[in-house]
Amino acid sequence: MKIEGTLKPPGSAPVAEAREKRPASTTAAGASDGKVELSSLSSSLNKAEAAMASTPEIDRSRVEEIRQAISEGRFKIDANRIADGLIDSVRQMLDAQK
């Protein structure tokens, strides 16, 4: 029995066929002039990103206010409020996993 090397390696034929079927021009219809239009949502997103970038991560005045309240003994911790916040954050994480 003679085995010839006429078999093609697996996966080589579909790739070659896909390359042959690809159109010569890859530009989308109407996009040949090089112009791109962005939706209003995109410009709103850009504005929101710029606003976030200019906002400091830490509110220094609020930190100083809390620091002063602690040093004066008038800072009170509301355990119920903290617990509610933790429960809400866990609910949000669980909803995000669904």
Instruction: Render each residue's pLDDT in the chain as its tens digit; 98 residues.
Output: 556 655 555 555 554 454 555 555 555 555 567 888 778 888 888 888 888 888 878 889 999 999 999 999 999 999 999 999 999 999 999 999 98
The reply to whether 32 falls in a domain is no
Q: Could you tell me the residue range of the domain that residue 45 belongs to?
A: 40-98
**Which pTM does this prediction carry?**
0.33
The reply to whether 60 falls in a domain is yes
Please, how many CA atoms are within 13 Å of residue 98, restricted to the half-sphere of its CB? Answer: 6
The reply to whether 56 falls in a domain is yes
Total domains in the chain come to: 1
In the chain, what is the straight-line distance between the N-terminal and C-terminal CA atoms, in Å?
A: 59
CA distance linking residue 30 with residue 36, whole number of Å: 10
Contact 91, 97 (CB under 8 A): no
